[in-house]
Chain A
Amino acid sequence: MHRQVYQSGLSSGQLVLPDQIGRRSFLHRGGISLGSMALAQLMQNETRAQEARLEKPDHWKGILSQPHFPPRAKRIIWLYMAGGMTHIDTFDNKPKLAELHGKPMPESITKGQQIAQLQGQQLNCFAPQHPFRQWGQSGQSIAEIWPKLAEQCADEMCIVRSLHTDAINHDPAHTFMNTGTMIQGRPAMGSWLLYGLGAESESLPGFVVMVSTGKFGQKQPIAARQWHSGFLPGQYQGVEFRATGDPVLYVGNPSGVNEKRQRDVVDAVQSLNRLADQRLDDPEITTRISQYELAFRMQSSVPELMDVAKEPKHVLDSYGTQGGDGSFASNCLLARRLAERGVRFIQLYHRDWDHHGAVKDHSAGTAQEVDQGVAALISDLKQRDMLKDTIIVFGSEFGRTPMAQGNGRDHHLAGFTMWFAGGGFKPGFSYGATDEFGYHAVENRVSVHDVHATLLHQMGIDHNRFSVKFQGLDSRLTGVEEAHILHDLLV
């Protein structure tokens, strides 16, 4: 192939065209020649863009050509009560603690155990701070600070009261809950799912995170690492949707650029990238073109998603929000809208559950901030017949001590509660138990890895067969130790 020489009108010398142009400028992929017809076509940007039938880019397909098991659920909505929700005052009633209130916790229970802020202090029992009742047909035992959730959804919930975890401080405990290890740099569960199953939505990311806070606790910092893709490629990273500013970072057009002008620029970029692709036949350029198309679609699909004005009044009322305020309730409503649009993994944080002091008032207050939104979300999904293939996960990175810290409770890793709903989990079901103090998970103990294994299973993935080589190891979400699918919880 000969080299072409272009006369540069601007610099003194003659510049030879580089490889990108010279050698293959008349070799076009698929034999299409870029004549005047083609150019005219390129100019009809808008029509062409609308007609463009882009294949789903490879990056958004999962690596599993088919699931390991028949999937029971298509998506997960994880309601993450960050800070460490007190299990004893919410879902795990311990009358014995009330009897022993103010008396020392038996040493046999606490000996050799990890303690956080209560290190070196007198460990006294602290009674449950709220009355409990049996709710629904199933008679689930739930504290009265969850009136709406308990009333509307007790018979949907699958409550596990025997969780235990490995970390007693927030940061590593979050990392463990989300990535299955305390070491940084590993993929979050949502990233694993996208990697395995791919994204369903063609105009929204497949892994979305929203964070809200409240008025009662010490607001927990939440690191972006909690939704990072770790050693998996960046396209599997969770994307945060925000209540203020651009709902997704950089999704808004620059000032002075309306949607049409933005489309013009994107079209010009696409046209030039296509010209390059025709010259070079480079799969990376093909991917780049698809990503610009998706980016542009996100610029309209994200604002459309966030705009809840068209939701009927009774729906807004059921969630107790008008939307747009970044509240947990508002995020619950958005979670349903994301689920409808095919987003695979949705994680909502409420980061205000760290109640070292005044646990009575603060847990009641924070529960109130959460109660209605969760109840509405579950009822709404059920009404739309989506609960059957949506898993709701509700829980914290750890629980809180049965011992007093002043009038609050400290971090606690040996026993706590999570609950699930929908997606093939047994409705109106209770599983596992802590001891009479609410300290140790003793009956049907469940590890964080068991939860991961079970969730993967419901999504159609065998956790043992789902690994990526990293630093020489077959890295798994469920780690190197044995993890168990909790068949007892499943329908």
Chain B
Amino acid sequence: MPKSVLVSLRTLLMATLAISSIGPNQLAAQETPSVIPETVEFNRDVRPILSDKCVFCHGTDKNKRQAELRLDTEAGLQQKAGDTQVVVPGQPEHSELYRRITTTDDEQLMPPAESGKALTETEKAILHRWIEQGGRFEGHWAFLPIQKTPAPAASASEVSSHIDHFIRESQSVHGLEMSPESDRITLIRRLSFDLTGLPPKESEVADFVNDTSPNAYEKLVDRLLASPHYGERFAIWWLDLVRYADSVGYHGDQEVSVSPFRQYVIDSLNANKPFDEFTVEQLAGDLLPTPSREQRIASGYNRLGMMSAEGGVQDKEYLAKYIAERVRNASGTWLGITLGCSECHDHKFDPFTTRDFYRFEAFFADIKERGLYSGANSDGNWGPFIKVPTADQERRLAEYDRQIVDVKKVLETSTPELLTAQAEWESTQVQWTSLKPDSITSKEGVTLTLQDDGSILASGTNPATDTYTFETKSLPSAVTALRIEVLPHDSFPQKGPGRAGNGNFVLSEFIVRVVNAAGEERLIPLQNATATYEQTGAAGGNPYGKWAVAAAIDKDEKGKTWGWAIMEQAGRPQTAVFEIQDDLTLADGEKLQIVLDQNLDNPQHTIGLFRLSAATASRPIRATDAPPANLAGILATPAEQRSDAQKAELSAFYQTIAPALEPARVQLAELEKSRASLDSQIVSTLVTEAVSPRMVRVLPRGNWMDESGEEVTPAFPVSLAGEPTSDRRLNRLDLAQWIIAKDNPLTSRVTMNRIWKLCFGAGISRKLDDLGAQGEWPSHPELLDYLAAEFIQSGWNLKHMVKGIVMSQTYRQSSLSPASLRETDPYNRWLARQGRFRLDAEFVRDNALAVSGLLVEEIGGTSVRPYQPAGYWAHLNFPTREWQNGSGKELYRRGLYTHWQRQYLHPSLLAFDAPSREECTADRSRSNTPLQSLVLLNDPSYVEAARAFAELILKSETPATSDRVHFAFQRALSRNATPDESAVLESLLNRHLAEYQAEPEAAKNLLSVGSRPLPDGIDLPTLAAWTSVARTILNLHEVITRN
């Protein structure tokens, strides 16, 4: 080693020794990078350096790996080549690793300059000391088994004392001690927000403050854990992870119905369903033996990802997107790892390969789904779902079903009268004669070919629009109607009958003329156009409200693009019938000309296969009267020659039209309509349906078009679980069971780390979304392991763990943060105080509603729509939409029930950092922005809440202004106002009272914000002035802060 390096190193070590000798107190106080621990721990001290500075080129990713050297494995660090060894235990100077980071030779120096990375002197010194002390390797902490811990706790308070023990221990190392316990008002506010997301009521505060029993605190905790609002509060945490939303997210961001899933989460948390069960039900509820409805709803977890109905989407590409997102979500939600990074390349920092990624993906390959949900923007069909009726709805459905069976029995019973009537009916059936063309032409040069069955097939060029002209001289006498049948064919998209990409066509105009020998044309008037089906979808702007066949004989009066179309019924034959006003017979030398205009501006909506026929029966003749095509042959057969099966088929059809059965049919129709109407009110929810698994292959660089990758079957990441031992194909149930297996090192740690954040404002490891090598070494690893082990040992009992945490002295500490403590421990790593932080978005709203008395405390149900500015959805399309504010109780529900539109989340929630839930969110940010101020000042929800709050203040018993201010503070902050605070508010009150008295119209305007009626018997200027006071209070930092 060059001398200069040795010298500088010695200087450095001396400097650090000097620092470490000044005692633990100062040490903590100067938690600067220059401190080198006495005992270097690989995971705490060394791994972060290697991970950040070296592993990018010397890690899992074999494509990036340089010099075939790995610095993220034990073997790699011990690697020898000739005389050199990466790490020689005890001998930094002989270790290649150390030599290469300290060399003065720029060619040899690591990391190389072009990497943009460099080691600090401290980092080099840490590596030096680590090798000196033996250079021992440890696996990454989060991937190692959870450390052995004490026997299962007999009670939550035992958990609490363990927590306090770990915290005190670390505090003493850093010369700190716990802050005193918070006062009871702060405690009950903190607990109420943390466990229910709501402020305590005044009576609850008083009860707790005055409760002298020794277990007053525990009673309070138990009450809050048993509150139905507990489930609501923790549901928000969970719904962020599993990306619950009420719209599909991609492109048109259409709505999707999944609210029963939210209900499932709330109910499960309230019932304290063991977390392992909760996990299995969501990942694989559908694969459980005879799954209950609840378990099927839970399986909707797999269907909560984003979906697209954008035309032009390739199925395969989006199937690849959806399934990859499931890997990100499941690995993020339960394992806290970033497996998603391995989609395109082996993970740069953690031991996950692309093969691991795609094998994980294969677990989800059995989920029935589509890549493109074509048409779902109009029909709402987003794949498998179930209906979730209430008990009452279920009872009424059963009643309808019973009645329907009875009526059907009547309809299906044959009688002699019916047989006679049927014979008569048969004799009157319309006979259609297929027309044979003398010529058939296409304006745009499409090839039109006459088939053996009289139909005409289009092929060749596929123009944007076209006009077909059909001419014939052979027509029966006295024709009363013409018919066009449009027929499916394999040569068209979706089998046609149209040539548009979705199998549709639009017949804009059906024109009939007679041309005589001299070439003179005469238009034949048509009437009463009918069709077997008329398209209802995509009919925005259509003057007929649907794609009606009537538009095909309107002489284009309402626009030339409108006409007959059948989109939803693509792939099936359809028929349209046009009555001729006066019986038509061709004279000698005359020919019939039928013109089919197809002029839609959306290109290629032309007819692919069709047949024209004529009838001479008496009018009315309707398309819908015609017996189905399969009966035509039977009718043509003389009655005595029909087989029994044919007879039965014919009778069955006749029963559907027999006049004698009309009353029963009407009754049936009404029953079915009522049932359908009831059914349409029943909320549905997406569920998972397993089908035969799709083939999954490794996609090189994540490219879905590249089919060169290896085919894979489901397996767990090898570095965590080893290679699969069984030949059986694993499925989602296996995945779920592996996730909650006792020896899975991640699930429990990840979950406890996140629960800790809910109770303190930060995790034990602050990276909630990544416990991998790039995550953060936990401040209290033993504590995290203890909690993780206890969580498993307790039977995954979440309430037990939450209770243990909130019962601890650590939790009960004051959150006051003297400047000295802020300097010593700016990020509160050693928890010598509680955290203080802004309420989450939903609770900001809930709190204002609760304080003002407006909150509707119902649990669950479908999503609701509080006030939202008009036009906020102006940029949505397919279809265009306008938010309709809810009414009545819907306006005052908790924030978690607000309709969750991924592309345009309610702006009040968005302003307070609620996530769009397009992806897994483990850690909401907490910003502090002017838009938040604007929401609290001006959003009608808050203005109305302030007014309701003012009404409460004025209804309070004592009329003295100062008492009223105290009353208001008690409701909003559970304390009295200080004299200074009162003075500010009273001054505001007096000025605004004078102003509103002078301007009563202004008072009325302010009090008319929102839909709440003006109160009787309250002086409006007074109420308006108090509304100013209430607005002020609802805007206070303290009101939206949990201390």
Contact = CB atoms under 8 A, between A and B. Distances in A.
B1043 A20 contact: yes
A298 to B, nearest CB: 6
A59 B927 contact: yes
Contacts of A464: 116
A472 B349 contact: yes
Interface in A266-282: 266, 268-269, 271-273, 275-276, 280-282
Contact of A406 (B463, B773, B929): B463
Assign chain B's interface to a size class.
Answer: 35 or more
Contacts of B1031: 265
B683 interface: no
B729 interface: no
A120 B493 contact: yes
A417 B1029 CA distance: 57
A472 B976 contact: no
A20 B975 CA distance: 10
A9 interface: yes
A291 B930 contact: yes
B251 A20 contact: no
Contact of A473 (B348, B838, B910): B348
Interface string A112-154: 1011110111100000000000000000000000000000000
A473 B61 CA distance: 14
A171 B981 CA distance: 51
Chain B contact residues, majority secondary structure: loop
Contacts of B508: none
Contacts of A52: none
A221 B876 contact: yes
Assign chain A's interface to a size class.
Answer: 35 or more
Contact of A185 (B918, B927, B956, B975): B918
A144 B350 CA distance: 56
Nearest to B962: A9
Nearest to A408: B603
Contacts of B774: 469, 471-473
B534 interface: no
Interface stretch (A248-256, A379-387, A388-396): A248-256
Given A117-B312, A272-B1036, A472-B338, A256 B871 contact: no
Interface string B474-504: 0000000000000000000100000001000
A10 B967 contact: yes
Contact of A235 (B249, B927, B937, B943): B927
A246 B929 contact: no
Interface string A11-33: 11111111111111100000000
A59 to B, nearest CB: 7
B213 to A, nearest CB: 15
Given A22-B183, A473-B348, A9 B929 contact: no
B988 A265 contact: yes
A205 B911 CA distance: 14
Contact of A223 (B185, B903, B981, B1001): B903
Contacts of B995: 261
A253 B251 CA distance: 34
Interface string B1004-1016: 1111110000000
A287 interface: yes
Which of A234, A251, A480 has its CB near the most chain B CB atoms (within 10 A)? A234
Given A221-B253, A256-B1002, A471-B338, A407 B966 contact: no
A9 B940 contact: no
Interface in B150-190: 182-186, 189
A190 to B, nearest CB: 15
Interface stretch (B31-39, B713-721, B795-803, B813-821): B813-821
B327 to A, nearest CB: 12
A21 B978 contact: yes
Contacts of A288: 928, 933, 1037
A201 B386 CA distance: 53
Given A16-B185, A268-B985, A112 B934 contact: no
Contacts of A249: 869, 872, 907, 931, 934
B1036 A269 contact: yes
B515 interface: no
Contacts of B313: 116, 169
B773 A472 contact: yes
B183 to A, nearest CB: 5
Nearest to A407: B464
A314 interface: no
B905 interface: yes
Nearest to A222: B875
Contacts of B938: 250-254
A114 B770 CA distance: 35
B666 interface: no
B1036 A219 contact: no
B252 interface: yes
Contacts of B1009: 254-256
B988 A21 contact: no
Contact of B987 (A43, A185, A261): A43
Nearest to A113: B705
A284 interface: yes
A170 B816 contact: no
B305 to A, nearest CB: 11
Nearest to A117: B312
Contact of B916 (A218, A225, A356): A225
Interface in B770-814: 770, 772-775, 814
Contacts of B983: 39, 42-43
Interface string B325-344: 00000000000001011001
Given A223-B253, A262-B937, A357 B1036 contact: no
B963 A18 contact: no
A275 B1037 CA distance: 11
B839 to A, nearest CB: 12
B524 interface: no
A285 B464 CA distance: 64
A356 to B, nearest CB: 7
A271 B984 CA distance: 7
A112 B919 CA distance: 31
Interface stretch (B127-135, B202-210, B856-864): B202-210
A188 to B, nearest CB: 13
Contacts of B206: 11-13, 15
Contacts of B932: 291
Interface in A336-378: 349, 351, 356-358
Given A223-B904, A235-B929, A171 B308 contact: yes
B216 to A, nearest CB: 13
B565 interface: no
A261 B1024 CA distance: 11
B935 to A, nearest CB: 5
Contacts of B462: 121-122
A172 to B, nearest CB: 8
A98 interface: no
A269 B928 contact: no
A68 to B, nearest CB: 12
B930 A184 contact: no
Contacts of A25: 978
A256 B991 contact: no
Contacts of B870: 244-245
Contacts of B203: 11
B205 A244 contact: no
B871 A9 contact: no
Given A15-B205, A225-B903, A245-B869, A171 B943 contact: no
11 contacts: A11-B970, A221-B876, A224-B910, A237-B931, A254-B1006, A258-B1002, A272-B981, A282-B836, A284-B1041, A294-B933, A358-B601
Given A169-B251, A265-B1032, A298-B934, 13 more contacts: A21-B975, A112-B705, A169-B312, A185-B915, A218-B877, A254-B1006, A257-B1006, A269-B1032, A272-B981, A272-B1036, A284-B838, A406-B604, A465-B116
Q: 9 shortest A-B CB distances, which residue pairs? A: A406-B603, A256-B1006, A472-B774, A256-B1005, A234-B927, A116-B312, A406-B464, A295-B933, A223-B903
